[in-house]
Amino acid sequence: MSTQLFNVAVVGATGAVGEQIRRLLEERDFPIASLKLLSSARSAGSTIIFKGKPVTVEEAAPDSFRGVDIALFSAGGEVSKALIPHAVEHGAVCIDNTNAYRMDPETPLVVPEVNIDKISDHRGIIANPNCSTIQMVAALKPIYDRFGISRIIVSTYQAVSGAGASAVKEMLRQSSEVLSGNDSNPAILPVSSLPVKHQIAFNVIPQIDKFQENGFTLEEMKMIRETQKILDDDSLEVTATCVRVPVVYGHSESVYVELKNDFDIEEIKALLADAPGVVLVDDPSGQRYPLATDAAGKNEVFVGRVRRDLSNPRGLNLWIVSDNLLKGAAWNAVQIAEYIAIPQQA
């Protein structure tokens, strides 16, 4: 670690992602001079222990960023839109986990294993991609570089923690209500701000975020646009169906890709086995493949069920799993923060 120390702010520090950011900053011994933990008025005044010392949570406000060098945002898009301009004005580099700046042409959208070279283009903001996009592009990058990819068809099986800490509580509450024979009384999913709610316990909901005019949900459009931006390839055809499943941690994805060139399946497996941040778990005879329960709590992206499409010799099927709160959010953001703090890594 560098000897230079940084004044760090975590916005949304009391949330599902913020909790993991705090844990990673502590575990990785990030070079911190001072730490601000920011939230809404609801949690302001509460105390969180960081490296054995109590830190009082403060309400995030435009002035909170005076003297801050690095600010990690995970408090929703509206908070990022409202506060990031002030943080940048105060000289902070902002790493944003929300959707607010991802498609802004002046904001790099970074997955360190894929496009860390873009980090130096930033003008005060670096965007963390959507969780389901991060794990897919991390796994596909070595295949894209070696063989080219013309088309991606992805279906996701996304954990409830992707909708925040309150959605996890809601699923656990519903599970016990249903097991007791009571009404599940859904209150949060699929989208807390929309009037219609659906049960997630013992169910599967084919809606993540709001529907767009084109019939896709916002989550699906994020996967399409962000994948093209990260791989810097507008010609890449991507289609997505995003689904919420009653899993607490870890998004799973069935990914079908059409490659531009002929490939050898063993070479694909070797590429995945060597890829940074990727773990190949692919042993059908031993029934070994990535599982959300195994990926939970780990930083890596796990890939298995690697097989050639029987109907298209350039078609490839993969199963990609990662912890949405870690590589999908907190770990990717802390990796970026480490590249800023210790630029020689880049």
Ligand X SMILES: NC(=O)c1ccc[n+]([C@@H]2O[C@H](COP(=O)([O-])OP(=O)(O)OC[C@H]3O[C@@H](n4cnc5c(N)ncnc54)[C@H](OP(=O)(O)O)[C@@H]3O)[C@@H](O)[C@H]2O)c1
Does the annotation place 162 within a ligand binding site?
yes
String marking each residue 163-182 x if it binds ligand X according to CB under 6 A: -xxx----------------
Least distance to ligand X, CB of residue 82, Å: 8
Output phi, psi for 292, to 5 deg: -60, -40
To the query of whether residue 131 is one of the catalytic residues in this protein, the response is yes
Told to check if 329 binds ligand X by CB under 6 A, we report yes
Q: Which of 7, 8, 9, 15 binds ligand X (CB under 6 A)?
A: 15
Q: Is 184 in the site for ligand X (CB under 6 A)?
A: no
φ, ψ for residue 343, nearest 5 deg: -60, -20
* 3-state SS, one letter per residue, for the chain: CCCCCEEEEEECCCCHHHHHHHHHHHHCCCCEEEEEEEECCCCCCCEEEECCEEEECEECCHHHHCCCCEEEECCCHHHHHHHHHHHHHCCCEEEECCCCCCCCCCCCECCHHHHHHHHHHCCCEEECCCHHHHHHHHHHHHHHHHHCEEEEEEEEEECHHHHCHHHHHHHHHHHHHHHCCCCCCCCCCCCCCCCCCCCCCCCCECCCCCECCCCCEHHHHHHHHHHHHHCCCCCCEEEEECCECCCCCCEEEEEEEEECCCCCHHHHHHHHHHCCCEEECCEHHHCECCCHHHHCCCCCEEEEEEEECCCCCCEEEEEEEECCCHHHHHHHHHHHHHHHHCHHHC
Given 292, 328, 339, 340, the residue binding ligand X (CB under 6 A)? 328
Which of 263, 277, 340, 344 has the alpha carbon at shortest distance from 309? 263
Number of residues that bind ligand X (CB under 6 A): 29
Among 7, 64, 98, 227, binds ligand X (CB under 6 A): 98
Pick 90 or 314: Cβ nearer ligand X: 90
Nearer to ligand X, 57 or 306 (CB): 57
Q: Which is nearer to ligand X, 98 or 156 (CB)?
A: 98
43 labelled ligand-binding? yes
Q: Footprint of ligand X on residues 29-48 (CB under 6 A)?
A: 39-40, 42-43
Q: Which is nearer to ligand X, 5 or 82 (CB)?
A: 82
> Is 173 annotated in some ligand binding site?
no
Q: Is 304 annotated as a binding residue?
A: no
Choose which of 8, 17, 70, 336 interacts with ligand X (CB under 6 A): 17
Report the residue number, 128 or 174, with the smaller CB distance to ligand X.
128
Catalytic residue among 90, 94, 131, 242: 131
Active site residue 90: no
Region of 70-78, 112-120, 198-206, 264-272 interacting with ligand X (CB under 6 A): 70-78
Q: Assess 137 for contact with ligand X (CB under 6 A).
A: no
Q: Which of 86, 90, 122, 251 is catalytic?
A: 251
Binding residues: 14-17, 42-43, 102, 158, 161-162, 244, 324
Binding residues for phosphate: 102
Which sequence positions are flagged as catalytic? 131, 251
